[in-house]
A and B are shown apart, each in its own frame.
Chain A
Amino acid sequence: AQSVSQHNHHVILSEAASLELGCNYSYGGTVNLFWYVQYPGQHLQLLLKYFSGDPLVKGIKGFEAEFIKSKFSFNLRKPSVQWSDTAEYFCAVIPPYNQGGKLIFGQGTELSVKP
């Protein structure tokens, strides 16, 4: 089945460590790609998005993601995490032909940053 996969269910890091969260999707054709973050008790908010152009996308709070079309991947990175980055991170895709504009989400990665 076509889907979005996030490699890690739970990641634990110390402050100042580098972060990379994997995301792969299985749709062919043109996709729109997103990373959302959900801080404890808060709404889902957009970190960054890729529609076209430069495959290296910069988002808010020092996050970036790289779209690698040949690998069907859109991995999220941050050079140095902070305790405040503790949250759940979701990769999402708008599939080709966008029937209804639905976002297809991965299962999420819970990030815990130790002070």
Chain B
Amino acid sequence: ETGVTQSPTHLIKTRGQQVTLRCSSQSGHNTVSWYQQALGQGPQFIFQYYREEENGRGNFPPRFSGLQFPNYSSELNVNALELNDSALYLCASSTKKGENEAFFGQGTRLTVV
């Protein structure tokens, strides 16, 4: 157990829909990063939130957006879902903008049909 919880665990959506994924960070952690892990690939960095502000973004289009709340929990929103958005979405929490060890949740498996 890492103390990082994600919900839901599985989700099926239709192309064009919107989805919101949620993450509760480990107690004492003020930094949340989101990753997309396609089947057979390593996780790819989407973006990071530090104290409610976006603190870095990977190579993902603007339809991927996020939010961090005062309790440091976070949401990942994806608009206009495409088939290739099907993946495992991982949340990782850490301190000091990710310079220390990141603790991962179990992920949300998103399937877009």
Binding-face segment, A13-21, A61-69, A72-80, A103-111: A103-111
The 8 A CB mask of A17-35 against B (1 = contact, 0 = none) is: 0000000000000001010
Residue B33 CB within 8 A of the other chain: yes
Residue A53 CB within 8 A of the other chain: no
Size range of the interface on B? 20 to 34
* 8 Å CB contact of B55 from A49, A101, A107, A108: A101
Count, A-B residue pairs, CB within 8 A = 75
Complex Cα distance, B105 from A4, in Å, reads: 22
Binding-face segment, B13-21, B37-45, B72-80: B37-45
Q: Restricting to A58-115, which residues have a CB under 8 Å from any CB of B? A: 90, 92, 94, 98-108
Minimum CB–CB distance for B107 against chain A, Å: 7
Residue A44 CB within 8 A of the other chain: yes
The interface residues of chain A lying within 8 Å CB-to-CB of B33 are 100-103
The interface residues of chain B lying within 8 Å CB-to-CB of A106 are 42
The interface residues of chain A lying within 8 Å CB-to-CB of B43 are 44, 90, 103, 105
Size range of the interface on A? 20 to 34
Residue B94 CB within 8 A of the other chain: yes
Minimum CB–CB distance for A29 against chain B, Å: 15
Q: Restricting to B75-113, which residues have a CB under 8 Å from any CB of A? A: 90, 92, 94, 96-99, 101-107
Check if B98 sits within 8 Å of A103, measured CB to CB: yes
Check if A102 sits within 8 Å of B98, measured CB to CB: yes
The interface residues of chain B lying within 8 Å CB-to-CB of A105 are 35, 42-44
The interface residues of chain A lying within 8 Å CB-to-CB of B41 are 107-108
Q: Restricting to A25-54, which residues have a CB under 8 Å from any CB of B? A: 32, 34, 36, 42-46, 49
Check if B42 sits within 8 Å of A102, measured CB to CB: no
Known contacts A90-B43, A94-B99: A100-B48 contact under CB 8 Å? yes
Which of A's residues lie within 8 Å of B, judged by CB?
4, 32, 34, 36, 42-46, 49, 90, 92, 94, 98-108
Q: Could you list 6 examples of A-B contacts with CB < 8 Å?
A: A43-B2, A45-B2, A101-B99, A103-B43, A103-B92, A106-B42
Which of B's residues lie within 8 Å of A, judged by CB?
2, 4, 31, 33, 35, 40-45, 47-48, 50, 55-58, 90, 92, 94, 96-99, 101-107
